[in-house]
A and B are shown apart, each in its own frame.
Chain A
């Protein structure tokens, strides 16, 4: 989880990721932040994110992102 927070802070450190629940819905993470995020997550956690995972529900909060990473690791 700390590693994920590190990635997110690298993208934009002005966001309070631990309490934010609407990263996508409130446009806090823009499209380019998402491009970077996807590629960083794939690189560091050795998972494959495909188009089906690209939903706001998976990207709205750090917990949701973490849950998606865990799920993809198990597959």
Chain B
């Protein structure tokens, strides 16, 4: 039961809303928990046990860490002098660190096993074949949907308890709800405990404001997904599956249309997720913020899949930044090579694990590792060139705020994004390189209209619907970028205008949405990660 299906939108969601409202407030979170597990069961069957196991394990690890803190404080209070107090504190801190390490290793171990074991086994076997060494068995491992999302949430929660940013959740069921809230479980956004937990447990009564906002957001998500993304999937499927048949401008079309498809699909699904949460008064973190307005690759990643970026920043980038090796390097390099080189080295040490992890997080394939490294190199070059940008602007008399300069920077960022997505969606890394090479072979813009365009089930009307959908999404994004939130404006407008807007959206989805056998019923792309 995916979140864009009629079963979810017209049966499951209304039923949960009714049950939620008729139950006393303090028990409402239990309805959300039951709904979450039922939903998870519909697509993962017995693997729901792994989700339950993760919740139980995370719960007891966090309680254990809190218990260590309590014991530490008790013993420190009984200590005779400051030195003894420090000793006790240090001892318990080391123990607490050990417990956190155990928690993180087990959670990552499970993720590694289900997601990456076969990938590593296959590659090790290829290597072992050269030395006639024994091969690792390739296993038939079932993939638990959403594991990449809930594992990160669980690790983030444990780290926050470890750093005393939040108290451990004493109720196992409540923690289980945080880790499994049904709209989020398939595609995120990856929430921090402090952002959503209280809202999930509050059992806030349904109200018209939240219901309207949620309903509007879900419609907006369906609009993006059904009018644009589901149609484009037909075209991108043809171009990427038969990539050897295409070259030049068609490869560019593949990269651009897949980027648009992915954005419409992923951000549209997140709209449905955030809208579903909002119906219950739960405000989930945003995942997109007009990513195509970014003027650099670094800014793009602050606007695209924001909850993943925030997670890596908080739980990988910052801890690495203040880790002993980076500090040691800084002290050493600063004296020998100066500030610039020391900063470059520290940036590389902090950036590299983040981007390798970002690549791997998407799946166990070389193309994803390449995708992570691609952004690592681009971001690192950006850091290295930063001090020279001001000088360049002075020498060339460039006003960095001039519209033409901003437009040029946006265009450059688009090229970086499109190239990245070409590899991301290629049928393997080798196919990615072939497509990239073919991009420069016989590049004729006239291929767009001289009959070379691939024959698919899409007709002129479909392309018009895609273009129309893109224009509407672009206008809404453009206005938001200029501080005009059309969604908020519609919500606060008078009843007739509000419903006129809703009906327009509903009609657009019903009339222009992609239905039937001619279209690919597209699965949620990020649910596969």
Contact = CB atoms under 8 A, between A and B. Distances in A.
Interface string B144-186: 0000000000000000001111000000000000000000000
A49 B318 CA distance: 11
A19 interface: no
Contact of B322 (A30, A32, A43, A50): A50
Contacts of A49: 322
A31 B346 CA distance: 11
Contacts of B302: 27
Given A39-B330, A39-B346, A32 B386 contact: yes
A22 interface: no
Contact of A51 (B163, B298, B313): B163
A74 B202 CA distance: 39
A32 B343 contact: yes
Nearest to B331: A43
Given A39-B330, A50-B322, A54-B321, A32 B383 contact: yes
Given A49-B322, A51-B318, A54-B321, A35 B163 contact: no
B327 interface: yes
Interface in B337-358: 339, 342-343, 346-347, 350
B165 A35 contact: no
Contact of A35 (B319, B331, B334, B350): B350
Contacts of B321: 31, 34-35, 38, 54
A54 B343 contact: no
Contact of A36 (B162, B298, B322, B343): B343
A49 to B, nearest CB: 5
Contact of A30 (B298, B331, B339, B343): B298
B317 interface: yes
Contacts of A20: none
A46 interface: no
Contacts of B342: 39
Interface string A29-62: 0111011101100110000011111110000000
Contacts of A39: 327, 330, 334, 342-343, 346
B313 A35 contact: no
Contacts of A36: 339, 343
Interface in B302-331: 302, 313-314, 317-319, 321-323, 326-327, 330-331
B322 A38 contact: yes
Nearest to A34: B321
A32 B49 CA distance: 42
A35 B347 contact: yes
Interface string B282-313: 00000000000000001000100000000001
Contacts of B334: 39, 43
Contacts of A27: 302
Contacts of B326: 35
A52 B164 contact: yes
A54 B322 contact: yes
A31 B347 CA distance: 9
A54 B321 CA distance: 10
A31 B313 contact: yes
Nearest to A11: B343
Q: Which of the listed residues B162, B298, B322 has the most CB atoms from chain A within 10 Å of its own CB?
A: B322
Interface in B103-156: none
A58 B350 CA distance: 20
A43 B330 CA distance: 10
Q: Which of the listed residues B298, B317, B321 has the most CB atoms from chain A within 10 Å of its own CB?
A: B321
Q: Which of the listed residues A32, A35, A36, A55 has the most CB atoms from chain B within 10 Å of its own CB?
A: A35
Nearest to B339: A36
Interface string B414-450: 0000000000000000000000000000000000000
A36 B344 CA distance: 10
A16 to B, nearest CB: 17
A52 B163 contact: yes
Nearest to A52: B163
Contact of B318 (A30, A32, A42, A54): A54
Contacts of A38: 321-322
B164 A35 contact: no
Contacts of B383: 32
Given A30-B298, A52-B164, A35 B343 contact: yes
B347 A32 contact: yes
A50 B323 CA distance: 8
A39 B327 CA distance: 7
Nearest to B299: A27
A28 to B, nearest CB: 12
A49 B319 CA distance: 10
The 9 closest A-B pairs by CB, nearest first: A54-B318, A52-B163, A51-B319, A39-B330, A35-B346, A32-B383, A35-B321, A49-B322, A51-B322
26 contacts: A31-B298, A31-B313, A31-B317, A31-B350, A32-B343, A32-B347, A32-B386, A35-B326, A35-B343, A35-B347, A36-B339, A38-B322, A39-B342, A39-B343, A43-B331, A43-B334, A51-B319, A51-B322, A51-B323, A52-B165, A53-B322, A54-B314, A54-B318, A54-B321, A54-B322, A55-B165
Given A39-B327, A43-B331, A53-B322, 14 more contacts: A27-B302, A31-B313, A31-B317, A31-B350, A34-B321, A35-B346, A39-B343, A39-B346, A51-B323, A52-B162, A52-B163, A54-B318, A54-B321, A54-B322
